């Protein structure tokens, strides 16, 4: 028998997680593009913000790999 509630929880979690990764990457790309324009202070803070977004995106992907691969749980 299929546990439909668990299926819905996994589907919603997948959609939210994928949306979060895409949003962080998009924000990072936008901030990195913005860092090429404007004043030096805006460039520096936008570039660090972009690197932070890329870092959060990478850490999220690594955490997902950690959850999927059972070797890391031993």
For the full predicted model, state whether its pTM sits above 0.85: no
Residue with tokens 């962080």: 24
DSSP 72: G
> Which pairs from 7-11 meet CB under 8 Å and 24+ separation?
none
Give tens-digit pLDDT for 8-54.
999 999 999 999 999 999 999 999 998 887 677 778 889 999 999 99
pLDDT in the model for residue 39 = 72
pLDDT of the residue at 72: 86
Confidence of residue 59 (pLDDT cuts 50, 70, 90): very high
3-state class (DSSP) for residue 48: helix
Instruction: State the burial class of residue 49 (Cβ atoms within 10 Å of its Cβ: 0-12, 13-18, 19+).
Output: middle
The answer on pLDDT for 74 being more than 80 is no
């Amino acid at each position: 028998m299929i546990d439909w509630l668990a299926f819905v929880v996994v589907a919603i979690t997948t959609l939210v997680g994928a949306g979060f990764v895409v949003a962080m990457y998009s924000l990072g790309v936008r901030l990195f593009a913005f860092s090429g324009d404007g004043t030096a202070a805006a460039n520096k803070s936008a570039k660090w913000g972009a690197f932070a977004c890329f870092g959060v995106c990478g850490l999220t992907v690594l955490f997902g790999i950690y959850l999927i691969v059972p070797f890391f749980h031993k």
